[in-house]
Chains A and B, each alone.
Chain A
Amino acid sequence: EAGVAQSPRYKIIEKRQSVAFWCNPISGHATLYWYQQILGQGPKLLIQFQNNGVVDDSQLPKDRFSAERLKGVDSTLKIQPAKLEDSAVYLCASSLSYQGNQPQHFGDGTRLSIL
């Protein structure tokens, strides 16, 4: 079974530029999560989708971050404009459903550096 796919693996941009990350979850997984992980900290949820609907985006900085999962499969997370504090690893995860006890499985992440 293929795992969660993410791209790119690394991205370096200057502040105020824009950047986009892509994620393809495990086949059949209805729930998709985007996390931000700053060095030395645990993952922080940015947004959660169930199929193509948003379940929770309460911690997403909506003035600069946006995400979509239009067809309920793959997803894109965008930052525009980027700030220095956005330097982090952006992790995508998926699970069968957010109801119940199903664990989530992570992709390899995108390491973002803002200059």
Chain B
Amino acid sequence: QKEVEQNSGPLSVPEGAIASLNCTYSDRVSQSFFWYRQYSGKSPELIMSIYSNGDKEDGRFTAQLNKASQYVSLLIRDSQPSDSATYLCAVKNYGQNFVFGPGTRLSVLP
């Protein structure tokens, strides 16, 4: 059974701080990793994808992947109240399905 684990939260950070969201996965041969943001009552929205070890930056978001440790993270710099949402980690291997974690609820306090 392939699993993706995340802390459910809530993770509370003050406005302007760095929010760090973590995800671990069980399938060692996973190839693709995605972060989705889901506002309450809305559908998941793709934020970042990462495929190689290391960091990938897009604006205020940085995804970090360490395949040896089976660990992927998302950093949000200069957190804003509008970043308050649930963040879903999804993992995929070629020709196989996406497996989602339970999500981490982030609350950015003004």
Binding site for B on A (CB under 8 A): 33, 40-45, 48, 56, 89, 91, 98-101, 103-109
Contact = CB atoms under 8 A, between A and B. Distances in A.
Given A99-B94, A107-B43, 11 more contacts: A40-B8, A41-B103, A42-B101, A45-B97, A91-B44, A98-B96, A101-B51, A101-B92, A103-B34, A104-B98, A106-B36
A101 B31 contact: yes
A16 B103 CA distance: 31
Contacts of A40: 8, 102
Contacts, number: 49
Count class of interface residues, chain B: 20 to 34
Contacts of B101: 42
B36 to A, nearest CB: 8
A29 to B, nearest CB: 14
Contacts of B46: 103-105
Contact of A45 (B43, B94, B98): B98
Nearest to A42: B100
**B contact face: mostly helix, strand, loop, or mixed:** loop
Interface of B: 4, 8, 31-32, 34, 36, 42-46, 49, 51, 88, 92, 94-98, 100-103
A104 B103 CA distance: 17
User: In this complex, which of A42, A45, A103 has the most chain B Cβ atoms within 10 angstroms of its Cβ?
Assistant: A42
Given A41-B102, A42-B103, A43-B100, A108 B51 contact: no
Given A42-B102, A42-B103, A100-B94, A108 B88 contact: no
A44 B98 CA distance: 9
A89 B51 CA distance: 29
10 contacts: A41-B102, A41-B103, A42-B88, A56-B97, A99-B94, A101-B32, A101-B51, A103-B46, A103-B49, A108-B42
Nearest to B42: A108
Contacts of A33: 97-98
A41 B102 CA distance: 5
Nearest to A99: B95
